[in-house]
Amino acid sequence: MLCLDPAAGFSQAHKLSVGAHSIDITPTQLPAIRNGGFTQRTYDKVLDKLHSRNFVLKSGDTTIAIAVVDSCMIPRDICNLAKELASKKTGIPLNRILIASTHTHSAPSVMDLCLGTSSDPNYKKFLPSKLAEGIALAHANLEPARIGVTVVNAPDHTHCRRWLKHPDKYANDPFGEKTIRAMMHPGYQNPDYIGEAGPVDSGLSLLSIQSADGKRQIGLLANYSMHYFGAGGGFSADYYGRFCDLMEEKIASSASDKAPFVAAMSQGTSGDLHWMDYSKPKKENYGIDKYTAELATIAFDAFQKIDYPADHPKLDMEQSTLTLGRRLPSKKRIAWAKLVNAKRGDRRPKDRPEVYAEQAAWFIKNPKEDLILQTIRIGDLAITTLPHEVYGITGLKLKAQSPFKTTFNMELANGAAGYIPPPGQHYLGGYTTWPSRTAGMEVDTEPQIIDTLLGMLEKLSGKKRKALTTDFYNPQQREAIKKAKADDNNLANRGLEQ
């Protein structure tokens, strides 16, 4: 069991206070545009409520806000607006506010060019003020608190969804180039694929918050690397919301005073992960409720064993902005896109080539992206944030090299800059590498982000990062990347000028 050790000589004047609040952010105007697919669709049905689940932590002069939002992805401008509104209400500095999406694929869209989907104008206006209100209400609920943390392995509920194709089955990308050596969702036991393309981060992390006397549960912040489950034709918080409901029910029923509290499930590093195990036959009659119940049982069992140190953990936070370029299309790609866009006109894209042609035109006008990176220290726990969908291996690298005893990572935080595969994975091709607003950063973005975050963790801890002693790939995966690098045709997939 892991404990949060206070910094040496940390003053009792820096006692920890925490407030929590969950605010309803379900769309009030229907039908609304929903993202999460290749092309734009609208829905007029709410399957279950959406929420922003908020925690505010205060110690001495340091106050930090964390909002976990039931949204597929929130672009940087919407996050910034919500932070400005929240800061005005609470006085919390902008660089001490974290806003992260759960990545439910069943939320109203607030991001333009989320593949073929535009933002919903009504919900885009509605969301920022609701996020700010939720943070302000959590701030108003501040009270003396204690914190405990644990991590449990949950390998049966997340798996690599990106598989290596058999060499005889390489396929064409939307640009007509045979670059697909790996692709997500291969189908169960498909003979055209030979194995997973990368490792899995299966750690389920739990940050538990109680009243200072330990008699009442204030909040629970969970973190797990599983993309989403899928909730059907309407608006839904997906498994994230169901998990929170179950944990609140389980923990409230175990509390002496039946006091309500806020549970949140944040997104880990799941860009190439999902719940399906494609190495085995498909599970029959296995739905979102069964999946969530199983994971919640694992979490509750771990929660019951958490220790709560009497001393107060040190609270601190760092933020850094990294400005990097996008993989701009080649002259050949630009010419192709102009023809496709001219034929499409003003209507929304209806297929993959039209989606990526629109994206290519957007890239020319938006060649760079500001990436907001944050690290949080709570005693000997570290939280890192990334505005991307990163692979499981990226999370494993950060955890392995972090100077903190315990670290977990929250992706799609403070923006939505798309997938960032490790450099070697770009050569394998597939959907998560095709240049778009949701997958368009330059090839070496991932190592730059890792290095920046580790530097921030070094500053927070006063310790050097640990050495990375493994690359986490198995021999089959290493060999596939090596062969792909030797194939110059994959340069087309990387979007480099030729």
Q: What is the pLDDT of residues 370-386, one digit of tens each?
A: 999 999 999 999 999 99
Mean per-residue pLDDT, 80-109: 98
- Specify if 234 maps to a domain: yes
| Cα separation values, 456 from 68, 108, 137, 410, Å | 22, 34, 29, 15
Q: Tell whether the model's pLDDT for residue 154 goes beyond 90.
A: yes
Mean per-residue pLDDT, 206-235: 95
Mean per-residue pLDDT, 13-30: 93
- Residue 78 near residue 70 (C-beta atoms within 8 A): no
Q: Tell whether the model's pLDDT for residue 37 goes beyond 90.
A: no
- Specify if 4 maps to a domain: no
Q: Tell whether the model's pLDDT for residue 492 goes beyond 70.
A: no
- Specify if 104 maps to a domain: yes
How far apart CA 61 and CA 116 sit, in angstroms, is: 45
Mean per-residue pLDDT, 215-221: 95
How far apart CA 167 and CA 174 sit, in angstroms, is: 19
Which contacts of 124-130 are long-range, i.e. CB under 8 A and separated by 24 or more positions? 124/78, 126/25, 126/27, 126/28, 126/29, 127/25, 127/71, 127/74, 127/78, 127/82, 128/78, 128/81, 128/82, 128/85, 129/82, 129/85, 130/23, 130/24, 130/25, 130/52
- Specify if 134 maps to a domain: yes
- Specify if 1 maps to a domain: no
| Cβ-Cβ contacts under 8 Å for 350 (sequence gap 6 or more) | 39, 116
Give the pLDDT band of residue 260 (cuts 50, 70, 90): low
Structural domain boundaries enclosing 135: 16-162+193-324+367-476
Give the pLDDT band of residue 9 (cuts 50, 70, 90): very low
**Six-digit token pair at 22?**
């969950």
- Specify if 9 maps to a domain: no
Exposed, middle or buried, 342 (CB in 10 Å: 0-12/13-18/19+)? Answer: exposed
Mean per-residue pLDDT, 75-79: 97
Note the pLDDT of residue 78: 98
Starting from the edge strand earliest in sequence, which strands make up the sheet with 368-378, in order? 315-325, 368-378, 381-385, 406-410
- Specify if 91 maps to a domain: yes
Give the pLDDT band of residue 176 (cuts 50, 70, 90): confident
- Residue 152 near residue 182 (C-beta atoms within 8 A): no
- Specify if 355 maps to a domain: no
Name the β-bridge partners of 144: 17
How far apart CA 456 and CA 268 sit, in angstroms, is: 19
How far apart CA 470 and CA 451 sit, in angstroms, is: 16
Whole-prediction pTM: 0.94
Work out how many domains the chain is built from and give that number.
Answer: 1
